[in-house]
Amino acid sequence: YLEETYYHRLNPASGFGIQRVYTDDGQLDETMTVKDGDVVCVPRGHHPCGAPHGFEMYYLNVMAGPLRKWRFVAAPEVEWILERDG
C-alpha cells in the first residue's frame, strides 16, 4: 500500500504539462493537464508526466505508506525503452 503526490512546477509558470495515472487492468485511467503549483494524488498504478517542447517541468514526488519501500515497476508498454537505454 502506497500513496504518492506530485507537486508540479512549470517554467514559464504559464506553461502546462500532462500526467496520466493508470493501472494495468484499466480500473484507473485518468489523464490530466497540470499547471504550475498543481498537486496530483497517485493512489496506485503508473503515473508518467511530461511537458510540451518549450516548457520545463519539475515535480516534487512525495510518498506515504506504512512501509518505506521504493518499488519501481515499469509499465509493460514502456519496458522496451528501459531495455534499449539500459
Residues 13-56 have pLDDT tens digits of 999 999 999 999 999 999 999 999 999 999 888 999 999 999 99
CB 19 within 8 A of CB 49: yes
Which CATH number fits the domain that encloses residue 18?
Answer: 2.60.120.10
Q: How many CA atoms within 13 Å lie on the side-chain side of 84?
A: 4
Is the torsion defined by CA of 68, 80, 55, 38 positive or negative?
negative
70 pLDDT above the threshold of 80: no
Give me the domain span that covers residue 39. Answer: 3-85
Tally of structural domains, the chain: 1
According to the model, what pLDDT value does residue 65 have?
79
**Cell numbers that stand for 19 in this block:** 500526467
- For 85, other C-beta atoms within 10 Å of its C-beta total 6
pLDDT above 90: residue 73: no
Q: What per-residue confidence (pLDDT) applies to 1?
A: 65
Q: What is the CA radius of gyration of the chain?
A: 14
Helix (H, G, I), strand (E, B) or coil at 78: helix
